[in-house]
Structure 1
Amino acid sequence: MFITFEGIDGSGKSTQARLLAEALTAEGHDVVLTREPGGSPGAEEIRRLVLEGDPDRWSAETEILLFTAARRDHLERTIAPALAAGKIVICDRFADSTRMYQGLSRGDLRGLVDQLHGLMIGREPDLTFLIDLPPEVGLARAKGRQGKEERFEDFGLDLQVRMRAGFLALAREFAPRFRIFDGAAPKEEVSAAILATARTALGARA
């Protein structure tokens, strides 16, 4: 099963992806925890290009190409081999983030994102967990990390507001695979609900 986590910056999705991977591993599943952009040596190199530096470093069109290239390498070298081996792949972000960050939030480029996705990636997750959070809370959390990878946070609150609305719209568009969780709830409550949902989905595929 291919499971992804999505949400605005600072929503807690990376933490929840890790907690789910740990819980499923403890239950005896063979789990690969990965992330985007990144997840393979080549994709990690591209990650540094797109997440560091000035907000205006790349145009949205260039970013789409970079993210698609990273995703293709990630798919070839990490995701597809793990799924073929019968493992559960849990990924922190996937194509839905590109649909939002480059496809909608910085111009009307969703069609281009989907066209490249169809040509070069060709698959969607089996299950997507959207961690929803008020944009001002997420941005404060993200900026509080004080890391180097803050290029998208530096676009400010307006981007995060549009991103949240976009992710919720995307969840309606792809309703069969999306599940929405309240990122403002206690971390333990959210992780327990996510684990229960994952167990049900895995049981249905057994």
Structure 2
Amino acid sequence: MSYFITFEGPEGSGKTTLISKVHTQLSKSHEVIMTREPGGIGISEMIREILLAEGNDMDERTEALLFAASRRQHLVEKVIPSLQAGKIVLCDRFIDSSIAYQGYARGIGTEAVMEINRFAIEDHMPDLTIYLKLDPEIGLDRISSNQRGHNRLDAERIDFHKAVVSGYNELSENYPNRIRTIDASQSPERVLEDTMEIINQYLNQEVNQS
């Protein structure tokens, strides 16, 4: 059976590292692909460069539309075909990122962002979302102390990053069955353990119900 599992969280929450480890674990018993947003395919990676390049100041609605455009192409070119082939798709960010970053932090509003993305994704929502909850100041400290390059969003004021977390927190409260929260301030080993427990429980439940 195919499943679409997304990973969300503020900057520096450890999503990329976690997804790689989850991919390794799940690949022992399932056919799994790992991808990211914005990006994952050629066109979307080019849009990613525009969106994240420092100095590319843009209108907040332009930003939201570019994220949605990248999402649409990535979805139809990579995610949907992989799901149709019976694979588990692990994706670094999806629609919840747009709601948290553009809807909440940019102040566009959740409904406006949802409207753009309904057109982009139609009815293709994640089956399960792992939300890595983290104080934004801790996340930004992690970024400044490791080797990851900075991008345009990293450079936003702390109030922006706090609004992103507030958006994610509200989303996790509104959709508790889909969005499962992990304390990302824990050790990487504990974060992986908690995440795999949630994913395996979900997969086993789905198998038993089928």
TM-score of Structure 1 vs Structure 2, range by shorter chain: over 0.9
Deviation of 1:19 after TM superposition, in Å, equals: 0.9
* Residues 147 and 188 (structure 1), Cα distance of their counterparts in 2 relative to 1, 3 Å cut: closer
Q: Is the 8 A contact 1:6 1:129 kept in 2?
A: yes
Alpha-carbon deviations, 1:112-145, whole Å to 9, x = none? 2101111221221100001111111001112334
Q: So what's the TM-score if we normalise by structure 2?
A: 0.93
* Residues 171 and 181 (structure 1), Cα distance of their counterparts in 2 relative to 1, 3 Å cut: same
Map of 1:93 onto structure 2:
93
Q: Equivalents in 2 of 1:134, 1:177: separation in Å?
A: 22
SS at match of 1:154: coil
Deviation of 1:156 after TM superposition, in Å, equals: 2.3
Q: Equivalents in 1 of 2:150, 2:90: separation in Å?
A: 21
Q: So what's the TM-score if we normalise by structure 1?
A: 0.95
Deviation of 1:148 after TM superposition, in Å, equals: 4.5
Q: Equivalents in 1 of 2:165, 2:135: separation in Å?
A: 8
SS at match of 1:19: helix
Q: Equivalents in 1 of 2:108, 2:48: separation in Å?
A: 23
Map of 1:11 onto structure 2:
13
Map of 1:73 onto structure 2:
73
- Quick check: 1:20 aligned with 2:22? yes
Map of 2:34 onto structure 1:
33
Alpha-carbon deviations, 1:78-105, whole Å to 9, x = none? 1000000000000001010011111111
Which residue identity does 1:21 align to in structure 2? H
Q: Equivalents in 2 of 1:186, 1:53: separation in Å?
A: 30
SS at match of 2:90: strand
Map of 2:115 onto structure 1:
115
Unaligned runs of 5+ in 2: none
Q: Equivalents in 2 of 1:16, 1:59: separation in Å?
A: 32
Map of 1:187 onto structure 2:
188
Q: Is the 8 A contact 1:4 1:128 kept in 2?
A: yes
* Residues 31 and 24 (structure 1), Cα distance of their counterparts in 2 relative to 1, 3 Å cut: same
Which residue identity does 1:164 align to in structure 2? V
Map of 2:58 onto structure 1:
58
Map of 1:164 onto structure 2:
165
Q: Is the 8 A contact 1:52 1:148 kept in 2?
A: no
Q: Equivalents in 1 of 2:135, 2:157: separation in Å?
A: 14
Q: Is the 8 A contact 1:30 1:87 kept in 2?
A: yes
Name the count of aligned residue pairs: 204
* Residues 195 and 146 (structure 1), Cα distance of their counterparts in 2 relative to 1, 3 Å cut: closer
